[in-house]
Amino acid sequence: MSIYDSLNPMQRQAVFHTEGPLLILAGAGSGKTRVLTHRIAYLIQEKEVNPWNILAITFTNKAAQEMRERVDRIAGFGSDAIWVSTFHSTCARILRRHIDNLGYDTNFTIYDTDDQKSVIKDVCRRLNVDTKIFKERALLSQISHAKDNLITPDQMEMDAAGDFNQKKTAMVYREYQAALRKNNALDFDDLIVKTVELFQNCDRVLEYYQERFKYIMVDEYQDTNYAQFKFVSLLASRYENLCVVGDDDQSIYKFRGANIENILGYERVFPNAAVIRLEQNYRSTQNILNAANHVIANNAERKEKTLWTENEEGPKIHFRQFMNGFEEAEYIAGEISKAHREGLCQYRDCAILYRTNAQSRLFEEKFINANIPYKIVGGVNFYARKEIKDLLCYLKTVDNARDDLAVQRIINVPKRGIGATTLGRVQDYADKMGISLYEALRVAEEVPSIGRSLSKIDGFVTFIQMLKSKAQAYTVEDLLKEIIELTGYVKELEAEDTEEARARIENIDELISKTVTYQQTMEEQDQPATLAGFLEEVALVADIDTVDPEQDYVLLMTLHSAKGLEFPRVFMAGMETGIFPSYMSINYGDGSELEEERRLCYVGITRAMKELTMTCARQRMVRGETQYNKVSQFVQEIPRDLVDLGHTIQEKKPKMEQVFSSDSKYSQMKQIFQTKAYKPKEFKVTKADALDYQVGDTVRHMKFGVGIVKAIAEGGRDYEVTVDFDKVGVKKMFASFAKLKKI
């Protein structure tokens, strides 16, 4: 009896086929993660491959972590030497060691979307490009697409020929790249592009990694772009042990440059590739799978296949139409509440999937009302919050003073009386001398007509220099705390004394605890905890990575975020024409967009294991105006006999008392909602009648660990508890946020 006996014949074939290129076409729920983990175990145990020689690329950090854990469980040991991570993290790691070959510093900064926008804006201003005609967004997306396809500014300009607009874009692209280089920064796409460039320019480096990664696996291959394809094929070109797993029906990132040709043309690129299909689904009931199969069959551009299952038939797909979005949300909240009360499911068994992030709001309202714990994935990134970005920019400046953007952001935060005029003068001087902004600040006395601002600038420079000198000896945590202390950032917020300010302080505490976690993880892995490492990790996390499977909450997310996940109970909300499929895919494009939406729908349906509910509203507020939408065509594509329609339309006659009670509840709720907007990740309960701990008790906090309660103060809607933690010292927090447990 071996661990491989539990696999079906196809899965076993895939596991045992270790040499040479292999394409696994894995339908939804066909156990591909199982195949990948067993394959890694097989390589290590039976083929005696050194774990060190294995590279596995996953779509998210969360998937990477899960894969490592599962390999650990079946292979027992050695899994920590396997390199499992996302494309972006993998490339960042390689570049941190070798990017000096391309003339960058190895402590480069990674720019997020906001940073990119600032750079583009600046570039347009310098080039006199009118951003009313050339939208920053459009420019960025064109640049990004060029990078996805490894097109350089020069090439873009050549391709433009006589096209004026295209030429202008190429110009902006070139200038944008120059600005990034000057700041010693890379954007997300650059991580891949520069790694490919590195491989192409430095044979030695390429050879090293080719030898190192003798066995390569890529998950979610249908969503790779050309640059990523180039990256893996360069790596694999020596041994050709490249195993890719994907499903063309689940390709949903074309808008991000994913090239479906990568998977469809795999056999052309690797003529000796073996192809294995996994078509047995182990996840969903027959009804759910049938529905999915019928929907996806409407797509013309696909590899024909039909998933089947031996699972039970299961309940029908529930479909409900409501008068408006409120009732829709209320219904779903009610259903989850009921099922939980009756012990049919835990909260974490349920997920609500929608097309756009904006749709999460209604659910948030109703969930607070119904006291259901939930977590919203996506939306505004934690690290994109103002207070977080400010502090991170301090860290960035300490780490890489060439990052002008970071310096610009913090130079007058908190207010130091250094305004736009002064900054402009220094910037001009820096440009003229060809030095970075920070260097110019250091020699500010040489800047013409700088006047009284000089002393203020000197103060700032001294401050940063002081931090820099401490950075070597300090942990990231200490450094961050020092910055907070000396800038008075938190003090300023405390003085504001608003709900909003308190929420920001909460976020800052969260950031501190993230530095602690980082330190711990690095120590566990026996790696040095560096400032650059922390900043990199922070830049490359997706919100979905922070989902904790141990915690019992309902997950709310977009269909895109749900890729790769599964839930016993799935609710697909907003099944309306114009919402899903989005109006963009209907009005623009050539129909391929609509097919992508349909694949998205297919992904959604196949997330469900036991029960699937689709809902829609007749009337919906979108961007402040009321829309009347028809039922989504995707719903119509499911055969009638698979669907349970409930009792016609869910018409709810509002009773007087309901109007009143819900009204007052709504205003109550709205208050909470506003504070929550800064802390949407945690479920907030209303003030507990009594806390089950008191001053002097020992309590445990999820992140800060064990500590002793020093004080409890009445604070309006909530208790403010002061705790002295063993690890992180004294903290003040709100009882309902902190969820302290007496021990």
Partner DNA sequence: TCTCCATCGTTTTTT
Partner DNA sequence: ACGATGGAGA
Residues assigned a catalytic role? 32-33, 219-220, 250, 607
Distance CA 409, CA 134 (A): 25
> In the bound complex, what is the minimum distance in angstroms from residue 378's beta carbon to DNA?
4
Only one of the segments 22-30, 557-565, 637-645, 691-699 lies at the binding site for DNA (rule: CB under 7 A); that segment is 557-565
x/- letters, 226..265, toward DNA (CB under 7 A): --------------------------x--xx---------
Distance CA 509, CA 486 (A): 16
Helix axes 476-487, 453-471, angle to 10 degrees: 160
If one asks whether residue 741 binds DNA (CB under 7 A), the answer comes out as: no
> In the bound complex, what is the minimum distance in angstroms from residue 201's beta carbon to DNA?
23
Amino acid identity of residue 250, one-letter, is Q
Q: Which is nearer to DNA, 492 or 697 (CB)?
A: 492
Q: Which is nearer to DNA, 112 or 720 (CB)?
A: 112
28 is in an annotated binding site: yes
The count of chain residues that interact with DNA, using the rule CB under 7 A, is: 47
If one asks whether residue 677 binds DNA (CB under 7 A), the answer comes out as: yes
Distance CA 460, CA 247 (A): 54
If one asks whether residue 660 binds DNA (CB under 7 A), the answer comes out as: no
If one asks whether residue 621 binds DNA (CB under 7 A), the answer comes out as: yes
Q: Which residues contact 35 (CB under 8 A, 6 or more apart)?
A: 7, 11, 14, 15, 24, 26, 245, 278
If one asks whether residue 584 binds DNA (CB under 7 A), the answer comes out as: yes
> In the bound complex, what is the minimum distance in angstroms from residue 649's beta carbon to DNA?
25
Among 197, 404, 543, 718, binds DNA (CB under 7 A): 543
If one asks whether residue 669 binds DNA (CB under 7 A), the answer comes out as: no
CB atoms under 10 Å from CB of 249, counted, come to 24
Nearest to 324 by CA among 667, 1, 61, 579: 579
Span 372-391, contacts to DNA by CB under 7 A:
378
If one asks whether residue 529 binds DNA (CB under 7 A), the answer comes out as: no
Please check whether residue 31 is in contact with residue 58, taking contact to mean a CB–CB distance below 8 angstroms.
Answer: no
> In the bound complex, what is the minimum distance in angstroms from residue 260's beta carbon to DNA?
14
If one asks whether residue 419 binds DNA (CB under 7 A), the answer comes out as: yes
Distance CA 657, CA 664 (A): 11
Amino acid identity of residue 662, one-letter, is S
Among 54, 288, 540, 616, binds DNA (CB under 7 A): 540
Q: Which is nearer to DNA, 150 or 479 (CB)?
A: 150
Distance CA 413, CA 408 (A): 9
Among 165, 356, 462, 661, binds DNA (CB under 7 A): 356
If one asks whether residue 455 binds DNA (CB under 7 A), the answer comes out as: no
591 is in an annotated binding site: no
If one asks whether residue 184 binds DNA (CB under 7 A), the answer comes out as: no
If one asks whether residue 334 binds DNA (CB under 7 A), the answer comes out as: no
Q: Which is nearer to DNA, 268 or 623 (CB)?
A: 623
x/- letters, 395..414, toward DNA (CB under 7 A): -----------------x--
378 is in an annotated binding site: no
Nearest to 92 by CA among 190, 233, 237, 205: 190
> In the bound complex, what is the minimum distance in angstroms from residue 665's beta carbon to DNA?
17
- Three-class secondary structure of residue 354 per DSSP: strand
If one asks whether residue 324 binds DNA (CB under 7 A), the answer comes out as: no
> In the bound complex, what is the minimum distance in angstroms from residue 235's beta carbon to DNA?
18
If one asks whether residue 284 binds DNA (CB under 7 A), the answer comes out as: no
**Kind of pairing, strands 22-26 and 242-246?**
parallel
> In the bound complex, what is the minimum distance in angstroms from residue 1's beta carbon to DNA?
39
Burial track 507-528 (b if 16+ CB lie within 10 A, e otherwise): bbbbbbbbbbebbeebeeeeee
If one asks whether residue 197 binds DNA (CB under 7 A), the answer comes out as: no
31 is in an annotated binding site: yes
Distance CA 315, CA 643 (A): 9
Helix axes 61-75, 32-45, angle to 10 degrees: 50
Distance CA 141, CA 148 (A): 10
Only one of the segments 74-82, 457-465, 509-517, 576-584 lies at the binding site for DNA (rule: CB under 7 A); that segment is 576-584
If one asks whether residue 83 binds DNA (CB under 7 A), the answer comes out as: no
Examine residue 271 and say whether the peptide bond preceding it is cis (omega within 30 degrees of 0). Answer: no
Distance CA 630, CA 528 (A): 56
Q: Which is nearer to DNA, 508 or 721 (CB)?
A: 508
33 is in an annotated binding site: yes
If one asks whether residue 86 binds DNA (CB under 7 A), the answer comes out as: yes
CA dihedral 48, 50, 55, 56 (to 10 degrees): 50
> In the bound complex, what is the minimum distance in angstroms from residue 530's beta carbon to DNA?
21
Distance CA 687, CA 693 (A): 14
Span 37-76, contacts to DNA by CB under 7 A:
59-60
> In the bound complex, what is the minimum distance in angstroms from residue 22's beta carbon to DNA?
24
Distance CA 32, CA 7 (A): 11
Only one of the segments 84-92, 210-218, 474-482, 509-517 lies at the binding site for DNA (rule: CB under 7 A); that segment is 84-92
Only one of the segments 71-79, 303-311, 486-494, 553-561 lies at the binding site for DNA (rule: CB under 7 A); that segment is 553-561
Amino acid identity of residue 389, one-letter, is K
Classify the C-alpha dihedral 163-164-167-172 as positive or negative. negative
If one asks whether residue 586 binds DNA (CB under 7 A), the answer comes out as: no
**Kind of pairing, strands 705-715 and 698-701?**
antiparallel
> In the bound complex, what is the minimum distance in angstroms from residue 431's beta carbon to DNA?
18
Nearest to 250 by CA among 562, 521, 636: 562
Q: Which ranges of 246-298 would DSSP assign to H, the alpha helix? A: 261-264, 266-269, 286-296
Distance CA 192, CA 211 (A): 20
If one asks whether residue 652 binds DNA (CB under 7 A), the answer comes out as: no
Among 200, 421, 498, 658, binds DNA (CB under 7 A): 421
If one asks whether residue 623 binds DNA (CB under 7 A), the answer comes out as: yes
Nearest to 176 by CA among 164, 192, 190, 163: 190
Ramachandran angles phi, psi of 21, nearest 5°: -65, 140
Distance CA 340, CA 337 (A): 5
> In the bound complex, what is the minimum distance in angstroms from residue 578's beta carbon to DNA?
10
x/- letters, 111..150, toward DNA (CB under 7 A): -xx------------------x--x-x-------------
Please check whether residue 306 is in contact with residue 279, taking contact to mean a CB–CB distance below 8 angstroms.
Answer: yes
Helix axes 489-496, 499-524, angle to 10 degrees: 150
If one asks whether residue 205 binds DNA (CB under 7 A), the answer comes out as: no
Among 149, 324, 357, 619, binds DNA (CB under 7 A): 357
Q: Which is nearer to DNA, 528 or 624 (CB)?
A: 624
If one asks whether residue 560 binds DNA (CB under 7 A), the answer comes out as: yes
DSSP letter for 541, please: -
Nearest to 391 by CA among 501, 512, 497, 473: 512
Q: Which residues are annotated as a binding site?
A: 26-33
Residues that bind DNA (CB under 7 A): 59-60, 86-88, 112-113, 132, 135, 137, 188-189, 252, 255-256, 355-358, 378, 412, 415, 417-422, 453, 540, 542-544, 557-558, 560-561, 582-585, 588, 593, 621, 623-624, 677
Q: Which residues are annotated as a binding site for ATP?
A: 26-33
